Amino acid sequence: MRTIVKYVMLDLLKNRIVMGYTLLLLVLSFGMFSIDENSTKGVLSLMNIALIFVPLISIIFSTIYVYNSAEFIELLVAQPLKRKTLWLSIYSGLALSLAVAFLIGVGVPVLIYESSATGLILVVSGLFQTLIFTGIALLASVKTRDKAKGIGVSILTWFVFTLIYDAIVMLLLFQFSDYPLEKPMIALTMLNPVDLSRILILLKLDISAMMGYTGAVFNEFFGGQLGMLVSAIVLLLWTTVPVWLSVKQFQKKDL
């Protein structure tokens, strides 16, 4: 497995997009922290980068990369290699490169300006987004043969998690505003890795007081040890399940 990861990483290191992504994150992070004296505002702005921009780049870049590696995959499938090993190596190479890019681009500035529990949870959330959306990208690209369609599916998935899902939740909230929705809201949050991470960061920022009664319920649940544990498990599931499904699919795929 290490051999293949090595070749994927070597290929990605030569790729200018990963370099550009790292630099862009660095510039954005330092920019956000320098604009305001108050580093909490910087964390808030960075949160939006880690939860919207990072998933977008992870999912699209990984999808395109897998399609562009079609020759590489075809060459190696005829070799004495397990398909599972090959696929997981590609995932590891991609996820590792993007995670390192994020750690340098966001992790380092956060360490300098805001090395607190809040900063830590921001970086961990961003890392989870990278791993989760790379996994979803692999699933999308193994399911669809056509490159354009695959990229479309990826963009749509990103759209659903960052925008459409929230819109639907809002709609439900207004439709059922006569009922107590705090508990179902927690469940709905769990179903979306982006929302889950956002709540975790916001609660650490102590501005949940501004979120009214729902905020209090959230704080009670996610602030406790059980809530933290459940969130961690849900995020881990989001990281592993799509990759596992894509492995299953890849083992059956005709090349």
Partner 1 sequence: MLIASNVTKTFGKLKALDNVSVTCNKGQTIALIGPNGSGKTTLIKTMLGMVVPDSGFITFDQHNILHSWHYRERIGYMPQIGRYPDNMTIAQVMDMMKDIRKSDVLDEDLVNEFNLPALAHKKMRTLSGGTRQKVSASLAFLFNPDVLILDEPTAGLDPLSSEILKQKIVAEKEKGKLILITSHILSELDDLVTEIIYMQEGKLQFHKSIAQLQEDTGQVKLTQAIAHVMKTH
Residue 76 in the binding site for partner 1 (CB under 8 A) = yes
**Which listed range, 65-73, 128-136, 152-160, 189-197, lies at the site for partner 1 (CB under 8 A)?**
65-73
Identify the DSSP state of 206: T
Two tokens, residue 208? 């949940």
Q: Tell the burial category of 108 from Cβ atoms under 10 Å away from its Cβ (0-12, 13-18, 19+).
A: middle
Q: Which is nearer to partner 1, 76 or 201 (CB)?
A: 76
Binding of residue 16 to partner 1 (CB under 8 A): no
By CB under 8 A, residue 64 contacts partner 1: no
Residue 129, classified by CB atoms within 10 Å of its CB into exposed (0-12), middle (13-18) or buried (19+), is buried
Among the candidate windows 79-87, 102-110, 161-169, 177-185, which touches partner 1 by CB under 8 A?
79-87
CA distances from residue 19 to 45, 56, 98, 104, 170 in whole angstroms, order as listed: 22, 16, 10, 11, 38
Rank residues 41 and 253 by Cβ distance to partner 1 and give the closer one: 253
Helices (H), ranges, 69-224? 70-77, 83-102, 108-113, 117-143, 147-159, 165-175, 182-190, 193-204, 212-223
* Closer Cβ to partner 1, 73 or 122, answer by number: 73
How far apart are CB 21 and partner 1 at their closest, in Å? 19
Residues in CB range of 119: below 8 A, 6 or more apart: 43, 110, 111, 113
Q: Determine if 14 is a binding residue for partner 1 (CB under 8 A).
A: yes
* Segment near partner 1 (CB under 8 A); pick from 24-32, 81-89, 194-202, 239-247: 81-89
Provide the residue type at 171 as one letter. Answer: L
Taking CB under 8 A as the binding criterion, the range among 28-36, 69-77, 181-189, 209-217 that sits at the site for partner 1 is 69-77
127-to-157, 187, 236 alpha-carbon distances in Å: 18, 22, 11
Question: Can residue 182 be called a binding residue for partner 1 (CB under 8 A)?
Answer: no
Closest distance of CB 64 from partner 1, Å: 14
Does 41 help bind partner 1 (rule: CB under 8 A)? no
Binding mask 98-137 for partner 1 (x = CB under 8 A): ----------------------------------------
Determine, following the binding rule CB under 8 A, whether residue 19 of this chain makes contact with partner 1: no
Whole-number minimum distance, CB 57 to partner 1, in Å? 21
Report which of 216, 228, 223 is spatially closest to residue 183, judged by C-alpha positions.
216
Distance CA 149, CA 129 (A): 23
Q: Looking at 11, 45, 108, 244, which residue binds partner 1 (CB under 8 A)? A: 11
Sign of CA dihedral 248, 249, 252, 253: negative
Where along the sequence are the contacts to partner 1 (CB under 8 A)? 3-4, 7, 11, 14, 69-72, 74-83, 251-252, 254-255
